[in-house]
Amino acid sequence: MGSAPANVREICRARRADGPAAILAIGTANPANCVLQDEFPDFYFGATKSEHLTGLQDKFTRLCQKLGVRKRYLHHTEELLGAHPEFLDPHAPSLDARLDIAKAAVPELAAEASRRAIAEWGRPAADITHLVVTTNSGAHMPGVDFRLVPLLGLRPTVRRTMLYLNGCFAGAAVLRVAKDVAENNRGARVLVVSAEITVQLFTRPEEGCFQTLVNQGLFGDGAGAVVIGADPVMIRTPAVVRERPIFEIVSAAQTIVPDSEDVITMHVTKGGYGGDISTRKVLVLIGDNIERCLLDAFEPLGIGAGWNDLFWAVHPGSSPVLDQVDAVLRLKPEKLAASRRVLSEYGNMFGVTVIFVLDELRRRMEKEEEEGAPEWGALMAFGPGLTVETMVLHRCVAQGTGAAPPDKLAAA
């Protein structure tokens, strides 16, 4: 106490990390129940006792074929739906029962993905300093973040942040928040978790309600977890663990598209979740706005690469959404391959999806490494309103130190 008073600016500076936040590990999980898209129209119209709506089933079958989904995993099984006949009627009060299901299932799914991420990271769960969690599948207090502390063996002092109802951009939003936490708290190790089950959306088909068909054909359940930290270290625990960054998060931005408040909407109703996400306007506004968002992200960094020189992690809202991104940016077919594969194999899992895309991308890049995978990349996610999240990513080399930035960037 007797030493000279510290300068507040120096204290703040000393608490900040030196380097950028980096993704140090990724884990994913899905429920066991796998549904094949080809078989789903028969299942769905059968489970909802709607076989008599033959024209609507044909329309649903055509829609299922164009969404870009081959299979998905769903928490709700025929057995669970059989126990809740009230879920079939969108106008019946069923929210409480749906929330009870989410309250039990979402933390379990989130914990499974988190355990995988922490195992890959290699350090003890107690070394996690911050927890940032998101879900659209409920709004409980205490929430999934609270439940994860005992489930994972995190410290009770872990600093928690919970983001509810951010829609499909939630996965990018939690990464953005974690980047700020990691860069402003030297030594912080942030566990980021996104987890979704879509039982809130399940209801019977009705003539004139196209949104219900899109909801049933597009969405899947899953969880993704990421460990984020700056300045990777090597520690002895007592075994030697060397943190290996996968992607550095160079910048993270969020933009509202003007006059888009009614484009993608979702709200809680007594019968589950209502709203509209499926208009063609989503495609039009994404097409009209993504290039500006990308230029705003890349130009200040002095990265002048063409779009085809980057790697891409785009939230796959649907196959038409990815087609629109492809068309506007004139991307080579392989550029959105990771997004298309995740959409095909898991469906749109809201914010979880982009974490699966990052996982798929890093596996593909490990294989490509010798042939020279791109060094710089873009992550994009879209969601309610129309909100666009844009991140600049930097691939780290296999040794885990990250390649040197180009001269242009160093000078910027």
Ligand X SMILES: CC(C)(COP(=O)(O)OP(=O)(O)OC[C@H]1O[C@@H](n2cnc3c(N)ncnc32)[C@H](O)[C@@H]1OP(=O)(O)O)[C@@H](O)C(=O)NCCC(=O)NCCSC(=O)CC(=O)O
Q: Which residues are catalytic?
A: 168
One-letter-per-residue 3-state SS of 230-272: CCCCEEECCCEEECCCCEEEEEEEEEECCCCCCCEEEEEECCE
62 binds ligand X (CB under 6 A): yes
Query: Please, which residue, 114 or 137, has the CB nearer to ligand X?
Result: 137
Q: Which is nearer to ligand X, 138 or 383 (CB)?
A: 383
Question: How near is the Cβ of 235 to ligand X at its closest, in Å?
Answer: 39
CB within 8 A of 259, min separation 6: which ones? none
Cβ proximity to ligand X: between 347 and 377 the closer is 347
Picking from 396, 409, 383, 223, the residue whose alpha carbon sits closest to that of residue 299 is: 409
Smallest distance, Å, CB 134 to ligand X?
12
Q: State the alpha helices, DSSP H only, in 129-197.
A: 144-152, 170-184
259: left (phi over 0), alpha (psi -120 to 50) or beta: left
Quote the least distance from Cβ 40 to ligand X, whole Å: 15
Looking at the Cβ atoms of 146 and 210, the one nearer to ligand X is 210
Of the candidate residues 280, 333, 407, 411, the single one contacting ligand X (CB under 6 A): 280
Of the candidate residues 110, 133, 227, 282, the single one contacting ligand X (CB under 6 A): 282
Q: Are the beta carbons of 225 and 192 closer than 8 angstroms?
A: yes
Structure tokens at 155: 């410290």
- Of 63, 46, 67, 153, give the one whose Cα is nearest residue 347: 67
- Of the candidates 320, 354, 294, 312, the residue with the CA atom closest to the CA atom of residue 169: 354
Nearest approach, Cβ of residue 279 and ligand X (Å): 5
Task: Tell me if 409 sits within 8 A of 397, measured CB to CB.
Answer: no
Minimum CB–partner distance for residue 89 and ligand X (Å): 21
Rounded CA separation 41/54 (Å): 11
Among 17, 19, 33, 59, binds ligand X (CB under 6 A): 59
- Contact criterion met (CB below 8 Å) for 205 and 216: yes
Nearest residue relative to ligand X (C-beta): 167
Alpha helices in 280-318 (DSSP H): 280-298
The only residue of 131, 152, 168, 379 in contact with ligand X, by rule CB under 6 A? 168
The interface region with ligand X, picked from 13-21, 61-69, 73-81, 104-112 by CB under 6 A, is 61-69
62-70, 123-131, 189-197, 231-239 -> range binding ligand X (CB under 6 A): 62-70
DSSP result, 382-408: EETBTEEEEEEEEEPPTTSS-PPPPHH
Q: Which of 122/316 has CB closer to ligand X?
A: 316
Give the nearest distance from C-beta 117 to ligand X in angstroms. Answer: 24
The window from 84-92, 146-154, 280-288, 326-334 that contacts ligand X (CB under 6 A) reads: 280-288
d(CA 114, CA 105) in angstroms, rounded, equals 14
301-340: contacts with ligand X (CB under 6 A): 317-318, 320-321
Structure token pair of residue 68: 């870009």
Contact between 106 and 137 under an 8 Å Cβ cutoff? The reply is: yes
Q: Which of 22, 63, 106, 125 binds ligand X (CB under 6 A)?
A: 63
Residues 204-243 close enough to bind ligand X by CB under 6 A: 210, 214
Task: Tell me the number of residues near ligand X by CB under 6 A.
Answer: 25
AA identity, residue 102: A
Shortest Å distance, C-beta 61 to ligand X? 9
Residues 255-274 that bind ligand X (CB under 6 A): 264, 266
Q: Restricting to residues 331-390, which ones interact with ligand X according to CB under 6 A?
A: 348, 382-384
Q: Which is nearer to ligand X, 135 or 348 (CB)?
A: 348
Residue 301 CB, shortest distance to ligand X, in Å, is 27
Cβ proximity to ligand X: between 185 and 200 the closer is 200
20 vs 316 by CB, closer to ligand X: 316
Give the residue from 69, 68, 139 showing the smallest Cα distance to 100.
139
Give the list of residues 6+ apart from residue 309 with CB closer than 8 angstroms, or none: 374, 376
What residue ranges bind ligand X (CB under 6 A)? Answer: 59, 62-63, 66-67, 167-168, 210, 214, 264, 266, 277-280, 282-283, 317-318, 320-321, 348, 382-384
